Amino acid sequence: MKIRAAKNKIVILPLEAAEFTPGGIILTKDAQEVSNRGVVISSGSDQCSPGDTVVFTRYVGCEWEHDRKKYYIITEEHLLAIEEDEEIEAARAKKNEASISVSTVVLETKPKKRKVTKVEAVKGNLVVTSEDDAA
């Protein structure tokens, strides 16, 4: 079954609560805190998108269980923060860079024509390498 969040609603799969203290003590289910972090499954909000890890207000919204998993459906007002990973941000930045692929381009220069062998973006500048330059 697929669920789609309605306008300004966010469906979250909560992350598991910590089972150990930082010192290594095992916590019982009763002693474990309810997690206020989760992964967005569906979003009707512009603030986050599916796959984002978010922090939300505890004990709000609606609890929904499906296939033995517990989900929360909250409004965007109860969203406190979106966690961002440096690696993910670097990948997004790389994805947003312009990519250029060229099979064959003929560059006209005076007095002769040269075949372009490589076109690449380097630090925001377009670098063109021709057969004469490559030799």
Identify the domain containing residue 130 by its residue range. 97-134
Q: How far apart are CA 12 and CA 33, in angstroms?
A: 17
Question: Which of 67, 62, 17 is closest to 38 using CA atoms?
Answer: 17
Is residue 117 over pLDDT 50? Answer: yes
Residues 35 and 70 in one domain: yes
Q: Is residue 104 part of a domain?
A: yes
Q: Is residue 22 part of a domain?
A: yes
8-state DSSP, 26: B
Instruction: Considering only residues 86 and 82, tell me which one the structure prediction assigns the higher pLDDT.
Output: 82
Is residue 133 over pLDDT 80? Answer: no
Residues 69 and 128 in one domain: no
Q: Is residue 2 part of a domain?
A: no
What CATH number does the domain containing 15 carry? 2.30.33.40
Question: Total structural domains in the chain?
Answer: 2
Question: Which of 31, 30, 29, 14 is closest to 65 using CA atoms?
Answer: 14
Across 86-105, b (16+ Cβ under 10 Å) vs e yields eeeeeeeeeeeeeeeeeeee
Residues 55 and 109 in one domain: no
Percentage of the chain lying above the pLDDT 70 cut: 61
| Model pTM score | 0.55
